Amino acid sequence: MKAIVQTRYGSPDTCTLEDVDDPVPTPDEVRVRIRAASLNARDWHLMRGDPYLARLAPGFGLRAPTLRIRGSDFAGTVDAVGTEVTGLRVGDEVYGLRDGALAEYVCAPQRLVARKPSNLTFEQAAALPMAGMTALQGLQGRVGPGQSVLVNGASGGVGTFAVQLAHAWGAEVTAVCSTRNVELVRSLGADHVVDYTRHDALRAGRRYDVLFDLVANRSLRDLRRALTPTGTLILSGGGVFDGGSVLGPIGLLLRSKLVGPFVGQQIVSLSTSPATEHLDVLRELAEAGTIVPAIDRSYPLPAAADALRYLETEHARAKVVITI
């Protein structure tokens, strides 16, 4: 099969289209013929090995990524099933998460695969898993009617879903984005939009019940200052590549761990735990029209390096999709 393979850290030019062996499902896995995949910030972090501290994490390596095939979000058709798989069969249209999704086939445990939302295209479905799940796990149980919510990084993959979910759950949503994305986030349900090139939402004097930070470009003090005394700060990575860093967004997460026990505000360092039940919830939300994936650009698999370059350098809005 064709796949986007990387054998050393570096620029998108290190990601090349190669022929590799077709994967064989283990007893608890399904093999999916991928029709579309999408990119996430995790892809450029893995590609660059940045921040350096992350090279101690699974999937990374000290000198090269241990996961050779890029990508993790996918949508496609079940091609084969393991002997222990129940509930899915060959021909089912599915979506899910698994490292190695920038390829013609991927094998994934049944717990990371679910039936595709019936009203979404393969491209839309592929845009949903990681970003949608991050928004869901970040906000579910923390946002409700009448609350004020600030989404910092509202035009990104996670941010576009976070705006829609907070709006659907009855919150008053303020979205922070750049000038070119104002109309996008407003169309997704934001009650107020702050163009960060003109105004500083964190220094405007307003305090929020929930602040979902997806950028990691502000100090912990600045973020806490924009919260009510008992508000909730949700941190979920972020950062951009600027030549390499030791800590990157991990620094903010570490500081939050130190400060959290001593303040009245709740500080959450979000770590998602993907599972079929979360994919099922996202499918229900999509089929109900509560969330709609926003897609910035689509690229064919042979142009995946160009897609990674756009994601990394052009601050892509919403989701970048790879068609296969």
Report the alpha-carbon angle 77-82-86, nearest 5.
80
The per-type count for the chain, helices as H runs and strands as E runs, is 9, 15
Residue position matching structure tokens 């972090």:
45
pLDDT for residue 324: 96
DSSP 176-197: EE-GGGHHHHHHTT-SEEEETT
Mode of pairing for the β-strands spanning 319-323 and 29-38: antiparallel
pTM recorded for the entire structure: 0.93
Domains parsed from the chain with CATH numbers: 2-128+293-323 (3.90.180.10), 132-269 (3.40.50.720)
3 state DSSP class of 159 = helix
The phi-psi region of residue 78 (left if phi > 0; otherwise alpha if psi is between -120 and 50; otherwise beta) is beta
pLDDT at 90: 98
- Per-residue pLDDT of the chain in tens (324 residues, 90 and over written 9): 999 999 999 999 999 999 999 999 999 999 999 999 999 989 988 999 887 777 888 888 888 899 999 999 999 999 999 999 999 999 999 999 999 999 999 999 999 999 999 999 999 999 999 999 999 999 999 999 999 999 999 999 999 999 999 999 999 999 999 999 999 999 999 999 999 999 999 988 899 999 999 998 888 999 999 999 999 999 987 765 565 566 566 667 667 777 767 788 999 988 877 888 999 999 999 999 999 999 999 999 999 999 999 988 766 789 999 999
311 φ, ψ (degrees, to nearest 5): -60, -40
Residue 27: its pLDDT value, please? 98
Residue type, 192: H
H-type alpha helices, 244-301: 250-259, 276-287
Instruction: Give buried/exposed letters for 19-34 (b at 16+ CB in 10 A, else e).
Output: ebeebebeeebbbbbb
How confident is the model at residue 237, as a pLDDT? 74
